[in-house]
Amino acid sequence: MWNPALISLCFGFLFQNVHGQDENCYDDQGNPKVCLSPFMNPALGKPVEATNTCGQTGPTEYCLLGQRTCKVCDSTDPGNSHPANFITDSNDFYGRTWWQSDTMLEGIRYPVVVNLTIDLKKAYEITYMTLRFKSPRPDSFAIYKKTAPGSDWTPYQFFSTSCQTTYGKQDEWVTASAIRISLTRMNTLGDEDFGGDRALKSYYYAISDFEIGARCKCNGHANECYLPENQVADHEVCRCQHNTGGINCETCLPLYNDRPWARATESSANECQRCECNGKADRCYFDEDLYQTTGRGGRCVDCRDNTDGPQCERCKDNFVRGANGECESATPLKL
């Protein structure tokens, strides 16, 4: 039977291409292969920012829908407070802690929107999300995402009895670095306009748990996500392999740009290749024109010892190769 207070969104197809593979980034012969970071709940313990929470301006009364019981929400009383961080404190099936909004009596009704925002700090590849409501499931709500810190909010999923009218078309699920739950319209019995204060006190939003099943987005180039000891920010990074770097293994290391960076796949690990700089440079960049011409795209930067050229393979102008193989000045020294 469908539970109207539980929303579970599953997206196992996102990882069908790597199903059954182990987590090593190299095979027994030392050859690179696609790898995955551990499956986890990146929302667990993350702070949650809410645009409205009950009891913040003083004790407020709310009533349980369909019951005679009314209770008090008070942010100063630990036993009766319901802050937003309670939706990520633990995976509590019984809903012993929960976030709760003010009621309709305090003005929380359409078109007023209540937002709950969770910053995951880095990109993750989402397999599923579970949202457990303590109150009746809203008539309309939406989930938005950011694909990277600093990017714009874009639609993730819409839920509504009038989806086309309320939201328009829905978008696909993709990589996310932050999640926003946007509660738009409550599900009521239709008595909010004539039922008096008690009816209005019965309508509010409440969520006991929000869980994300995901892996760190490492583009198939890491099997671990960790918090560096010297990390100032409170977010994890991928422990990149295959000569890649960056928070999400989204770049090649400075001396490994001989071919374009690419995400690892089942058919190819797409390991970043070392540039041939003849030991005269510590970094290079990928040059598409050079790659098309020679099959090697690494152009070395800051060649040492008076060398020059895409691979530091020749001497600079006014320098010649000496007997010892090093580049020497072509201008005789004056005695």
Same domain for 86 and 175?
yes
CATH number, domain with residue 132 = 2.60.120.260
- Tell me which residue range forms the domain holding 100: 38-216
pLDDT at 164: 53
Evaluate if residue 131 carries a pLDDT over 60.
yes
Same domain for 50 and 163?
yes
In a domain, 254, yes or no: no
CATH number, domain with residue 306 = 2.10.25.10
Most confident option among 7-21, 151-165, 174-188:
174-188
Distance (Å, rounded) from C-alpha 296 to C-alpha 49?
A: 49
Evaluate if residue 178 carries a pLDDT over 60.
yes
Residue 321, SS3 per DSSP? strand
Q: What is the DSSP string of 89-132?
A: S---TT-SS-EE---GGGT--TT--EEEEEEEEEEEEEEEEEEE
- Domain end, chosen from 189, 216, 243, is at 216
Average pLDDT over residues 12-32: 64
pLDDT at 61: 95
pLDDT at 78: 93
In a domain, 5, yes or no: no
- Domain end, chosen from 170, 193, 216, is at 216
- Domain end, chosen from 194, 216, 238, is at 216
In a domain, 235, yes or no: no
When divided into structural domains, the chain yields a total of: 2
Closest CA to 14 of 221, 240, 236, 175: 175
Evaluate if residue 205 carries a pLDDT over 60.
yes
pLDDT at 15: 40
With pLDDT > 90 as the criterion, what percentage of the chain qualifies?
Answer: 53
Is 182 within 8 Å of 166 (Cβ atoms)? Answer: no
**Mean pLDDT score of the chain:** 85
pLDDT at 167: 58
Same domain for 200 and 316?
no
Same domain for 100 and 184?
yes
Question: What digits encode the pLDDT tens for the residues 136-172?
Answer: 888 888 999 998 888 899 888 777 665 555 655 433 3
Same domain for 212 and 293?
no
In a domain, 147, yes or no: yes
Distance (Å, rounded) from C-alpha 120 to C-alpha 94?
A: 25
Q: How confident is residue 228, by pLDDT bands cut at 50, 70 and 90?
A: confident
Question: What digits encode the pLDDT tens for the residues 277-305?
Answer: 999 999 999 999 999 999 899 999 999 99
Average pLDDT over residues 183-196: 82
Q: How confident is residue 94, by pLDDT bands cut at 50, 70 and 90?
A: low
Same domain for 202 and 287?
no
Same domain for 45 and 185?
yes
Length reported for the chain: 335
Evaluate if residue 38 carries a pLDDT over 60.
yes
Write the Ramachandran bin of 79: left for phi over 0, alpha for psi from -120 to 50, otherwise beta: alpha
- 3-state helix, strand, coil split of the chain in percent (to 5) is 10, 35, 55
- Angstrom CA distances, 78 to 18, 86, 97, 167, 211, stand at 45, 12, 11, 37, 23
Evaluate if residue 334 carries a pLDDT over 70.
no
Evaluate if residue 18 carries a pLDDT over 50.
no
